[in-house]
Amino acid sequence: MTGKENETQDNGYLTYLDYIDHGLAVSCLALALGKRLGCSKKMCYELSVAGLVHDIGKVRLSRYVERETQINSVEELKYVRLHSMFSCAILEKRGYSQSILSMVLHHHENYDGSGYPRNLRGEEIPFGARILRVCDVYAAMTSNRPYRRAFDHESAMAMMIEEIRDYDLQVFLMFQRYIHEPDFHKESIWASLSSQEERRRLLLELYPDLAGAYPDLAKAYGG
C-alpha cells in the first residue's frame, strides 16, 4: 500500500482506507442481520467475509479512473457498474468459495430486476446477496463521501423505504427491527473510532466468530 493510498484525498475518489472502512461496516451489519434471519454459522461467516471484500474491484477501478482523467461521466458510470464483476474475478483468483463469490457478484442486484450486473429478480438473487444489498446501501448512505456528508439514520432509512422495491422485503423488515435494537448503537460505534486497529478490535469483541475473516481481508487487499 502506498502513502498516497493511506491519505485522505480531496479529488472526488474514495481512498484505500475508505473502502476498508466501508467493508468493515457492511461486514458488521451483514453478520448481525444474517444471525437474526436464522442463517447458519457457515453462512454468517461467509456474509462477514463477503461484506469485507465486496468492493475490492472498486479499489482497482478507482486507480484506473484517477489515471485516465479524460474518461467522461458516462464511461465512468459504465466502469463503476462493472465493479462487482471485477471484485468477483479478483476473489476467484484468490480461491474464495463459490458462495462468497456469488454474494459479491450479485450485491447490486435489485429485487425488482432493475439492478446489475445480471438483472436478476426476486428469488433468482442469492439470499446472501440480498442481505448484502441492504447492508451495503445503509452503510454507504450513513458514511461521508467526497461529494456529500453522511446522511443521518432517519434520513437514510426514509430514502431506503422510498426505494423499497430494490430489496427483499423479509430482509429489509428484519434490518429495520435490528437497527432499533438497544445494542445497535454499540455495534455501530466502530464508525467513531480513530484507528483501523481500534475498529478491528471492537468488531472482534462484538463478533468473536468473525476472527477468521481478517486473514481474508489481508489476502484480498494486501498489495
pLDDT at 75 over 80: no
- Across 24-46, average pLDDT: 91
Q: Which amino acid is located at 64 in the chain?
A: Y
The per-residue pLDDT for range 161-212, each reduced to its tens digit, is 999 999 999 999 999 999 888 777 655 545 555 565 665 665 555 555 455 5
Q: Distance (Å, rounded) from C-alpha 163 to C-alpha 134?
A: 11
5 falls within a domain: no
CA atoms within 13 Å, Cβ hemisphere of 23: 29
Q: Distance (Å, rounded) from C-alpha 51 to C-alpha 176?
A: 19
Please report, for residues 42, 112, 157, 167, the alpha-carbon distance to residue 162 in angstroms, rounded to integers and kept in the order given.
33, 14, 9, 11
The 10 Å Cβ neighbour count of residue 180 is 10
Mean pLDDT taken over the chain = 78
178 falls within a domain: yes
223 falls within a domain: no
207 falls within a domain: no
Of all residues in the chain, what percent carry a pLDDT higher than 70?
A: 66
Q: What is the residue-wise DSSP string for 183-214?
A: THHHHHGGGG-SSHHHHHHHHHHH-GGGTTHH
- The residue range of the domain holding 86 is 13-69+77-192
Q: What pLDDT does residue 166 have?
A: 98
> Partners of 148 in the beta sheet?
145
Q: Which amino acid is located at 109 in the chain?
A: E
Question: Are 109 and 123 a contacting pair, CB within 8 Å?
Answer: no
Count how many domains the chain has. 1
Q: How confident is the model at residue 58 (pLDDT cuts 50, 70, 90)?
A: confident
206 falls within a domain: no
Burial 125-143 (b: 16+ CB within 10 A, else e): bbbbbbbbbbbbbbbbbbb
Cis peptide before 117 (omega within 30 of 0): yes
Give CA 21 to chain center in angstroms.
Answer: 9
C-alpha cell at 216: 481474508
210 falls within a domain: no
Q: What pLDDT does residue 195 have?
A: 60
CATH code, domain with 130: 1.10.3210.10
201 falls within a domain: no
84 falls within a domain: yes
